[in-house]
Amino acid sequence: MHDWLAPDPVGLHAQARPDKLALVDLASGRRWTYRAFDRAIEQARAVLDALGLRPGDRLAAIARNSADLVIAQQACLRSGLIFTPLNWRLAAAELDAILADCTPALILADGSAAGFTAPAGARLMEVAAFAARYQTAAPGPRGPARNAGEPCVILYTSGTSGLPKGVILTPQTLFFTGVNFGVLGQVSAHSVFLAESPMFHVIGLVTSIWPALVQGGTVLVSSGFDPAITNARLADRALAITHYFCVPQMAQALRDAPGFAPETWSLAALFTGGGPNPPANIRWWLEHGVPMVDGYGMTEAGTILGMPLDPALIGAHAGAVGQAGPATAIRIIDEEGGDVPDNAAGEIIVKGPHITPGYWNRPKEHESAFTRDGWLRTGDIAVRDAEGFVTIVDRRKDMFISGGENVYPVEIESVLAEHPAVALAAVIGVPDPRWGEVGHAFILLAPGHEGSESELRAHCEARLARFKVPKHFRIVEDLPRTSTGKIRKNRLRESLVV
């Protein structure tokens, strides 16, 4: 537990730049200056206090993005509550299991999810009712500042390989993610963020909001991603959006949607993360005048690495996720825990003030997630080149061994993505009597294109070592994904079990 107090950037900017536009709810058109934002937080805090919530209680939100959720999260921060946004796309049974784990005192909902069961003792309130109530409430006396190391957010991981687990975030982790991304992404008081990724994800709740708040910038909250609408917003000079963070699948959707005109955008860069981004894709955006700045982070650590905004460096290192943020220390280690040399693959481990203190109700998960000397095990395999740029090779758990050779599926997927007929590819390792394991590629074809197994195999053979070429290719009509666009490889494995 740290003995310093939680940072409060909104409170700071309410004094330093009270009339600066801080927050906009795009769905309703409501706007808050920093002075008004600060007051709204205090009003919301008074409502939560009147509802009987006390420090340490959880406030769950099962709702689409809105400025009201941002205000609720900031009110929780000041009140000592733990804001817990949940994935409203989950089935009722999945939500019930998470609610039973976090046992909230209050659930804010907007009807996006139906059928879930509120645990005993939990009060259910519509987001609109909460908003109406805080807008007319009188701010109460400001409470004492909370400790920077206390839990203030629980984010449940997407569960690509198992049941979701609650990652604990603190005021410290939120602030230093804002610092990391702010430095890497050249954020200033003039920056305007479009916050569109869902707030039950670290990109939506933290990366798309906190860097702007730390610097006194502006956050535009979108209720959800619609590529045609997003294209229009990015081209709107009145909005003047400078920072937009999305997963690679969202960036592809922008390209395919009506109104795609990157030459009209005000973006400093298009920031991507949350999944592999093939070099060919990054170079395409550069050719169209948009620096696509890939980065690397995770729920447990927020922003870890990021590419600079220099198009020449991006082009020279396409496929890399950049260099560590100023609050981050990284190592790349082998199976024995020793540091690997440049250009050798190893697991990336991380240490810094932005790292989670652990998992909700999961003490054993904490033990397995950290080394004895406190480094977070990311489970990702990375390579650092001689200039210090890091490339994520693959997930450690996704790597398979074929004929004694380590094979990283993301490398194969990047090669397949360069084929004009391939819209998306996913590769997993499957048992093989001769080689131990071999690759099985699932291919989603681009609209209007055809591709055969022999053609795709020849494409891979021309670009990859023989042991990396998948033995099996399957053309599919869809690929199972999480709510943030990550491919659920566990579902692909299950589809092969007869």
Examine the fold and report which residue of 369, 391, 413 is the final residue of a domain before the chain moves on.
Answer: 391
Same domain, 309 and 430: no
**CATH code at position 52:** 3.40.50.12780
In a domain, 3, yes or no: no
Same domain, 259 and 317: yes
Write the burial class of residue 286 (CB in 10 Å: 0-12 exposed, 13-18 middle, 19+ buried).
middle
In a domain, 450, yes or no: yes
**What's the pLDDT at 273?**
86
In a domain, 52, yes or no: yes
Same domain, 425 and 325: no
Q: How many domains does the chain contain in total?
A: 2
In a domain, 2, yes or no: no
Same domain, 159 and 285: yes
Same domain, 333 and 458: no
**What's the pLDDT at 487?**
85
Examine the fold and report which residue of 357, 372, 391 is the final residue of a domain before the chain moves on.
Answer: 391
Residue 252 domain boundaries: 9-391
**CATH code at position 456:** 3.30.300.30
DSSP, collapsed to helix, strand or coil, labels residue 307 as coil
Examine the fold and report which residue of 354, 374, 391 is the final residue of a domain before the chain moves on.
Answer: 391
Same domain, 220 and 250: yes
**What's the pLDDT at 5?**
87
Same domain, 332 and 415: no
Same domain, 414 and 354: no
10-residue block means of pLDDT along the chain (498 residues)?
80 97 98 98 97 97 98 97 92 88 97 89 97 96 88 81 81 97 97 95 95 98 96 98 90 94 96 83 94 94 96 95 96 94 95 96 87 92 94 79 77 89 92 86 92 92 86 93 77 81
Same domain, 360 and 423: no
Do 154 and 484 meet the contact criterion of CB atoms below 8 Å apart?
A: no
In a domain, 1, yes or no: no
Render 89-148 in DSSP notation, one character per residue: TS-HHHHHHHHHHH--SEEEE-SSS-S--PPTT-EEEEHHHHHHHHHTPPP----PPPBT
In a domain, 234, yes or no: yes
The rounded Cα 126 to chain-centroid distance in angstroms is 26
Same domain, 449 and 309: no
Same domain, 141 and 192: yes
In a domain, 4, yes or no: no
